[in-house]
Chains A and B, each alone.
Chain A
Amino acid sequence: MADDGGRPAAGRDGWRAAAAQGLYAYGLIVRMWVRSTLAYRASFVMMAVGNFAACALDFVAILLMFSRIDALGGFSLPEVAFLYGTSGLSLGLADLLLGSMDRLGRRVRDGTLDVLLLRPAPVFAQVAADRFALRRLGRISQALLVLGWSVTRLEVDWTVGRVLLVVLMAVCGTAIFGAVFTTGAAFQFWAQDAAEVQNSFTYGGNALLQYPPTVFAKDLVRGVTFVVPLAFVNWLPALRLLGRPDPLGLPGWVDFLGPAVAALMCAGAALAWRYGLRGYRSTGS
């Protein structure tokens, strides 16, 4: 992700240097946060378990539903679990990698963002690594468990191609959610108290994607396909894997647009971030 005018030279080399510098700084800061976390080992274990439990309770609610019904929106429990696992995994990974970006507003308010601007590293990398929280492995492991269980129960012929599709789904989903986290943070350059808005798209998006699209109104499905394309996180590729028709009746090749959509969203997020940071550096607020 490109940074502000911290690059010595423009062009591709400068961009590459900045990216390398950013990754390096990200790694350094993450390591510091992990060590800080491990300074309070008992708290860390408790928070990780809590993170796991919070997600698990979510799934327990779905299990309770299925104790009363056999299918929701025409989808069986393993199918819903597959949606749940893929969406949760993508969100969990994005949350782990850049989940604390929603603290940007606070940093702007209390002036500590300035300190990041004094270091010889891209601000994006520093903000992304800020408060890196290992406890978020709780969500990832819970999602993996649910996904693993669903895979054993689904009547899908797991060819290499299909397995690869699941992996690709997780990667693109992570990128899409990451772009949402970044855009949300960029938005906080203007609205510093609006951290909760992005929850609608991240955690809210996850809550949406863990249920089958047939449950929701067509307009809502259109919205998350064309406006905020969260449907590419798991819905569209998963429907293909599960052999289900897509409720919008889009052409089949759309199911494979995940990588392109993810790239586009990341580019948009990068622009929003640059624009936000430039605004901050010209107004200081």
Chain B
Amino acid sequence: MTDPAGTDPEPLIDVRGLEKVFTVRRKAGRLRRVREEVRAVDGITFQVPRGEMVGYIGPNGAGKSTTIKMLTGILVPSGGRLRIAGIDPARERTRLARRIGVVFGQRTTLWWDLPLADSYELVRRMYRIPDAVYRANLARCVELLDLAPLLAVPVRQLSLGQRMRGDIAAALLHDPEVLYLDEPTIGLDVISKAKVREFVREVNAERGTTVLLTTHDLTDIEQLCRRVMVIDHGRLVYDGALDGLRAAADGERTLVVDLERELPPIDGVPGARTVRVEGPRQWLVFPAAQSAAPLVTAVAERYPLVDLSLREPDVESLIAELYARGATGTEPGRRTPDGQGAPA
């Protein structure tokens, strides 16, 4: 929209070696307290081009919220370089605020006791949105999010799903170039979730809004983002296509075999191990990268095989796997403050 070069030589979100170090005072003994450095975000680098939708995931305390807080200008980084649409968030917080939209799933920005429309009116005035733009944006949000019957209702009377829709609309009225969605579907029913996802997809397609999405619900990611970034212990452990996550995680695939009769666990098949036996049915796991064909041959040669099926790992287990590896890769007991739980 207002990119100076027009050709977008610089990605909309440009993060290089981003760091956030907190000093935490920890109790040591009865009275003594020791100062301890916690690297909540430990050298993260990524770029997001205009118009992309990226999932940003990681376990609690991994540094996810800390990153988002730096990207939105709430927190000042301890190190690294950070530009959103060419703006340094730490130095020009209010200028950035006009160019980004933020939705915190667990924290409404709407006015509790006033009709929903009043909250939008405040946004219009506070962001000084031109009348024509405001009317067009509001009309589009009202249409896509079914807000028309809710505009005159005090926010306190809205359901969680309705409120979330209201919040998302509030974040988009000023035409932000970047939309940060933090747990936008948390606590919503299936229909509301679908509606929110559909809307986000629509906004992205229609206006080219760049979306950065943090969530615990991987369905959000699967349905919205082709690219996903995984953070753990303050470091990016994965950045790439959702499909590639499977390979990167070295997930294991499972071969389920039905034998003619109950037998002792299958043994001696190279590269595979039996993890479960239930009557004649047995489960063998093997690395996802390995081909299944030689394995099937090996089993069929030695066991009376009736039927077999192959199970691919799902995203949840892949990420669990990534997390597990990340955890063993660093020293134990290191805590990373993240949002509310930050040790004070």
Complex contact flag A–B (Cβ < 8 Å):
yes
Closest-CB distance, B294 to chain A (whole angstroms): 53
Number of interface residues of B (CB under 8 A): 39
Instruction: Answer whether A112 and B22 are a contact pair too, CB < 8 Å, given A6-B92, A282-B75, A284-B75.
Output: no
Number of interface residues of A (CB under 8 A): 33
A121 within 8 Å of B (CB atoms): yes
B340 within 8 Å of A (CB atoms): yes
A111 contacts B94, CB within 8 Å?
no
Residues of A within 8 A of B344 (CB): 192, 285
B75 contacts A5, CB within 8 Å?
no
Instruction: Answer whether A120 and B97 are a contact pair too, CB < 8 Å, given A5-B92, A35-B114, A284-B337.
Output: yes
B69 contacts A114, CB within 8 Å?
yes
Chain B residue with minimal CB distance to A5?
A: B91
Instruction: Answer whether A39 and B154 are a contact pair too, CB < 8 Å, given A115-B107, A284-B66.
Output: yes
B50 within 8 Å of A (CB atoms): no
CB interface residues, B 80-129, toward A, < 8 Å: 90-95, 97-98, 100, 102, 104, 107, 109, 111-114, 118, 122, 125-127
Instruction: Answer whether A40 and B113 are a contact pair too, CB < 8 Å, given A120-B126, A121-B126, A281-B75.
Output: yes
Chain B residue with minimal CB distance to A8?
A: B95
Query: How many angstroms between the C-alpha atoms of A7 and B104 in the bound complex?
Result: 25
A36 within 8 Å of B (CB atoms): yes
Chain A residue with minimal CB distance to B156?
A: A39
A76 within 8 Å of B (CB atoms): no
Instruction: Answer whether A36 and B22 are a contact pair too, CB < 8 Å, given A25-B126, A114-B74.
Output: no
A112 contacts B107, CB within 8 Å?
yes
Closest-CB distance, A274 to chain B (whole angstroms): 13
B93 contacts A5, CB within 8 Å?
yes
Closest-CB distance, B106 to chain A (whole angstroms): 9
Residues of B within 8 A of A152 (CB): none
A4 within 8 Å of B (CB atoms): yes
Closest-CB distance, A32 to chain B (whole angstroms): 6
Query: How many angstroms between the C-alpha atoms of A3 and B66 in the bound complex?
Result: 22
Residues of B within 8 A of A283 (CB): 22-23, 342
Chain B residue with minimal CB distance to A36?
A: B113
Closest-CB distance, A149 to chain B (whole angstroms): 37
Closest-CB distance, B103 to chain A (whole angstroms): 10
Instruction: Answer whether A111 and B107 are a contact pair too, CB < 8 Å, given A8-B95, A117-B73, A282-B76.
Output: yes
B72 within 8 Å of A (CB atoms): yes
A54 within 8 Å of B (CB atoms): no
A65 within 8 Å of B (CB atoms): no
Q: Which of A8, A111, A119, A278 contacts B339 (CB 8 A)?
A: A111
The interface centre, meaning the residue of A8, A25, A39, A114 with most chain B CB atoms within 10 A of its CB, is A114
Residues of B within 8 A of A122 (CB): 94
As a 0/1 sequence over residues 46 to 86 of chain B, the CB contacts with chain A under 8 angstroms (1 = contact) are 00000000000000000000100100111110100000000
Residues of A within 8 A of B114 (CB): 32, 35-36, 39
Query: How many angstroms between the C-alpha atoms of A188 and B342 in the bound complex?
Result: 16
Residues of A within 8 A of B97 (CB): 6, 118-120
Residues of A within 8 A of B93 (CB): 4-6, 117
A28 within 8 Å of B (CB atoms): yes
Chain B residue with minimal CB distance to A21?
A: B94
Instruction: Answer whether A119 and B74 are a contact pair too, CB < 8 Å, given A5-B90, A5-B91.
Output: no
CB interface residues, B 250-283, toward A, < 8 Å: none
Instruction: Answer whether A28 and B113 are a contact pair too, CB < 8 Å, given A284-B75, A285-B344.
Output: no
Chain B residue with minimal CB distance to A122?
A: B94
A120 contacts B74, CB within 8 Å?
no
Closest-CB distance, A187 to chain B (whole angstroms): 15
18 interchain pairs, CB-CB under 8 A:
A5-B93, A6-B97, A7-B94, A8-B94, A21-B94, A28-B122, A29-B122, A32-B111, A32-B118, A39-B113, A110-B340, A111-B339, A114-B69, A117-B93, A119-B97, A120-B98, A120-B126, A122-B94
The chain A residues found within 8 Å of chain B, CB to CB, are 3-8, 21, 25, 28-29, 32, 35-36, 39-40, 110-112, 114-115, 117-122, 192, 278, 281-285
A3-B94, A36-B112, A283-B342 known; 15 new pairs, CB 8 Å cut-off, are A5-B90, A5-B93, A8-B92, A28-B125, A35-B114, A39-B113, A114-B104, A118-B73, A120-B94, A282-B76, A284-B66, A284-B74, A284-B342, A285-B342, A285-B344
